[in-house]
């Protein structure tokens, strides 16, 4: 009787190593920049564009969570990273499209306005790279 052979499964590669370090650093910079921007906007001129400034604060939280998720090698961190980076991509696509289609709804720019044009479109590119990196570093299927 032949025994079933089992292929060893590859452990997931830590997301914060190798090229992932650059990704974590980029997310950390965006977390800091978005947090500072939102804090200044909310504390000094919130009444002029509350939606835009709250969206900047949301972006800051998403960048913070993505940084934490990508920097850690724990399984729960990987799920956090997938969720945060996915929300980031949806946010930048939705806010980017709405800010172009309905510019009156956004009297002030957010981090994600115009698909991140104020940041050289990096808010659009970053989640794509993040999702690709998470996919590349995932464990192999059994």
Phi/psi for 4 (5° steps) reads: -70, 130
Residue 141 in 3-state DSSP?
coil
User: For 62-78, what is each residue's pLDDT tens digit?
Assistant: 999 999 999 998 889 99
Q: What are phi and psi of 79, to 5 degrees?
A: -65, -40
Residue 110 sits at φ, ψ, to 5 deg, of: -110, 175
> Using CA atoms, how far apart are residues 54 and 34, in angstroms rounded to an integer?
11
Confidence grade of residue 7 (pLDDT, cut at 50, 70, 90):
very low
Confidence of residue 105 (pLDDT cuts 50, 70, 90): confident
Return the closest-CA partner of residue 30 out of 79, 74, 85.
85
pLDDT tens across 108-131, in order? 888 899 999 999 999 999 999 999
43-68 confidence digits (pLDDT tens): 999 999 999 999 999 999 999 999 99
Give the number of other CB atoms < 10 A from CB of residue 80: 17
Helices assigned H by DSSP within the chain: 20-45, 50-71, 75-101, 122-136
User: Taking the model in full, what pTM does it have?
Assistant: 0.86
> Could you tell me which of 115, 73, 74 has the C-alpha nearest to residue 94?
115
CA 62 to CA 138: how far, in whole Å?
21
């Amino acid at each position: 009787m032949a025994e079933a052979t089992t292929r060893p499964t590859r452990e997931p590669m830590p997301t914060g190593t190798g090229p992932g370090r650059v990704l974590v650093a980029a997310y950390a910079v965006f977390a800091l920049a978005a947090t500072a921007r939102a804090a200044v906007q909310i504390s000094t001129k919130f009444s002029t564009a509350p939606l835009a400034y709250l969206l900047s604060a949301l972006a800051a939280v998403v960048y913070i969570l993505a940084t934490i998720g990508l920097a850690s090698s724990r399984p729960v961190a990987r799920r956090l990273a997938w969720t945060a980076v996915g929300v980031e991509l949806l946010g930048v696509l939705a806010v980017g499209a709405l800010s172009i289609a309905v510019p009156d709804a956004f009297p002030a720019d957010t981090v994600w306005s115009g698909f991140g044009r104020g940041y050289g479109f990096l808010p659009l590119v970053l989640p794509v790279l993040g999702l690709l990196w998470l996919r590349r570093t995932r464990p192999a299927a059994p």
